[in-house]
């Protein structure tokens, strides 16, 4: 059984690696970003609200995100494990996730942090914006999101470091090489 989260700055390859880890460990990957983008694409009320925050490079409010994650973690397919991608991002979301898990007598097994240089991330995200036509990936917004990550999300890593469950893996390099680094790190921590 694996209950884990993957964390890292925007553009560090979390989504790509989450899908690969999910497949290898046979646990569902739960991405808040994918859920938000799906709602934006379908222009649901949540999507309209989320788009304003996403286009500005801001996080969607905790109340919306927490409710969505609580509902998702109540599904049967996560009983034998899961991989969270994009949540928790703030100290208050850590507390909410702790509450959600403790209600089911569960806790996280590992927090995988992908690391990468900010300038490389800006280059990656600008390239992705051109390919995907993403309105939330301008250089100004990318730098703003990186600043938010450093200001807010690193506190999340500190909380989990106190529990001794953080594994750091270099997120730069060929995708397959990064996946193998991750799988090796996970085996060592088991």
Q: State the binding site.
A: 11-16, 32, 37, 58-60, 86-89, 93, 128, 134, 145, 173
Query: Which of 3, 51, 72, 145 does the annotation list as catalytic?
Result: 145
Query: Which of 70, 128, 159, 168 does the annotation list as catalytic?
Result: 128
Residues comprising the binding site for ATP? 11-16, 128, 173
Closest CA to 21 of 76, 84, 69: 84
- The yes-or-no answer on residue 42 being catalytic is no
Query: Which of 14, 20, 72, 124 does the annotation list as catalytic?
Result: 14
- The yes-or-no answer on residue 128 being catalytic is yes
What is the per-residue DSSP string for the chain? -EEEEEE-STTSSHHHHHHHHHHHHT--EEEHHHHHHHHHHHT-HHHHHHHHHHHTTPPPPHHHHHHHHHHHHTSGGGTTEEEEES---SHHHHHHHHHHHHTTT----EEEEEE--HHHHHHHHHHHHHHH--TT--HHHHHHHHHHIIIIIHHHHHHHHHTT-EEEEE--S-HHHHHHHHHHHHHHH-
Residues comprising the binding site for AMP? 32, 37, 58-60, 86-89, 93, 134, 145
Query: Which of 123, 134, 159, 168 does the annotation list as catalytic?
Result: 134
- The yes-or-no answer on residue 187 being catalytic is no
- The yes-or-no answer on residue 145 being catalytic is yes
Q: Which residues are known to be catalytic?
A: 14, 89, 128, 134, 145
């Amino acid at each position: 059984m694996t209950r884990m989260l993957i964390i890292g700055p925007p553009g560090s390859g979390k989504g790509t690696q989450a899908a690969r880890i999910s497949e290898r460990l046979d646990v569902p990957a739960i991405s808040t970003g994918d859920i938000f983008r799906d709602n934006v694409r379908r222009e649901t009320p949540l999507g309209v609200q989320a788009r304003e925050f996403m286009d500005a490079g801001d996080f969607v409010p905790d109340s919306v995100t927490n409710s969505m994650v609580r509902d998702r973690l109540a599904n049967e397919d996560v009983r034998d494990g899961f991989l969270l991608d994009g949540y928790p991002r703030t100290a208050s979301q850590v507390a909410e996730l702790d509450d959600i898990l403790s209600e089911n007598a569960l806790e996280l097994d590992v927090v995988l942090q992908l690391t990468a240089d900010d300038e490389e991330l800006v280059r990656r995200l600008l390239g992705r914006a051109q390919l995907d036509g993403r309105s939330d990936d301008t250089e100004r917004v990318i730098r703003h999101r990186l600043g938010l990550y450093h200001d807010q999300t690193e506190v999340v890593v500190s909380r989990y470091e106190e529990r001794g469950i953080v594994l750091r893996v270099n997120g730069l390099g060929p995708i397959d090489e990064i996946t193998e680094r991750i799988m090796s790190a996970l085996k060592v921590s088991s």
